[in-house]
């Protein structure tokens, strides 16, 4: 049986998003299993030069990247087959030093007429969340699929109705842990076209609860495409500067967040959005129009 230790300070916590269990009565940032193996410190500081990732298509829109914890698969949405219609693609590599394979459409998650995108995946790579307007949805709603192992196809796709609003678009549903999930949504009381919301549940066997607005990330501008890193900090897209840029907000430890800071070494006069940060904090993937179309980029620190 795993024993849990509640810490009074969250700044140095080591939380394994996508695999841990959380007592719903305690903030997720304050819980650490005392038998968890030691991990290297989460990397901080600015990222280096961004590089175009080989999975990018020269003219198509490639967006919404998600990787499992070992970073040997990369899932993303692309309209490379039918312009304007997004499907889910995947590329793989045998080791971190290998190049990515040619991307292939994930046929069991994609449909012929609807859009699929806003991909997020659990750290073990066995549960995937994405947005789609397939029937019975009329807006972009959150869907989920599972697979028994990394070599198997994805199983049945199901609508996650408990976090999907039939009257608003919901997207980028990231399972930060077994009991905490973040998503972007335009539902009320969101302002500026969308805000960051959080859903919780008591255990992995329960349905996700009704999403609640995350305090401090709810301005009159657009906030979305949120990704919570291992420390609980939120990386998100905001258009307050006139275009879309990537920002990061540190947690206060009580469910609220400090004032966001712009990731200045990555963001420029064009679009930069949809950040994904590795478990150790050394690697960031994001999308940008700096190469002419929306493509996938990567930087390290």
Cβ distance 238 to 222 under 8 Å? Answer: yes
The pLDDT-based confidence of 217 (bands split at 50, 70, 90) is confident
What global pTM score does this model have? Answer: 0.84
pLDDT the model gives residue 275: 96
Task: Note the pLDDT tens digit of each residue in 116-155.
Answer: 999 999 999 999 999 999 999 999 999 999 999 999 999 9
47's CB contacts (< 8 A; 6+ apart) are 263, 265, 266, 284, 299, 300, 301
DSSP conformation class of 28: G
**Which has the closest alpha carbon to 47: 208, 272, 291, 243?**
272
Task: Note the pLDDT tens digit of each residue in 146-170.
Answer: 999 999 999 999 999 999 999 999 9
19's CB contacts (< 8 A; 6+ apart) are 122, 123, 124, 177, 178
Cα–Cα distance between 176 and 186 in angstroms, integer? 20
Task: Note the pLDDT tens digit of each residue in 74-93.
Answer: 999 999 998 889 999 999 99
């Amino acid at each position: 049986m795993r024993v849990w230790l509640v810490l009074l300070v969250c700044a140095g916590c080591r939380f394994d998003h996508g695999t841990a269990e959380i007592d719903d009565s305690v903030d997720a940032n304050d819980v650490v299993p005392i038998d968890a193996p030691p991990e290297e410190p989460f990397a901080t500081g600015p990222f280096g030069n961004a590089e175009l990732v080989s999975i990018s298509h020269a003219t198509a829109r490639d967006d919404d990247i998600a990787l499992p914890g070992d970073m040997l698969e990369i899932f993303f949405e692309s309209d490379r087959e039918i312009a304007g219609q997004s499907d889910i693609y995947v590329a793989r590599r045998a080791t971190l030093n290998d190049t990515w394979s040619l991307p292939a459409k994930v046929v069991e998650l994609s449909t012929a007429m609807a859009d699929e995108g806003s991909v997020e995946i659990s750290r073990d790579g066995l549960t995937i969340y994405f947005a789609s307007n397939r029937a019975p949805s009329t807006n972009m709603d959150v869907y989920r699929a599972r697979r028994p192992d990394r070599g198997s196809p994805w199983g049945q796709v199901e609508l996650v109705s408990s976090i999907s609003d039939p009257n608003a678009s919901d997207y980028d549903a990231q399972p930060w842990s077994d009991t905490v999930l973040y998503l972007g949504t335009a539902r009320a009381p969101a302002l500026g076209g969308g805000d960051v919301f959080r859903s919780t549940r008591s255990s992995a066997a329960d349905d996700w609860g009704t999403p609640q607005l995350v305090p401090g990330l709810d301005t009159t501008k657009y906030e979305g495409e949120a990704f919570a890193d291992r420390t609980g900090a939120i990386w998100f897209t905001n258009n307050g500067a006139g275009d879309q840029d990537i920002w990061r907000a540190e947690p206060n430890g009580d469910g609220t967040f400090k004032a966001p800071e712009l990731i200045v070494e990555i963001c420029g006069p064009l679009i930069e959005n949809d950040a994904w940060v590795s478990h150790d904090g050394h690697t960031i993937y994001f999308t940008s129009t700096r190469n002419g179309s929306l493509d996938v980029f990567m930087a390290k620190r």
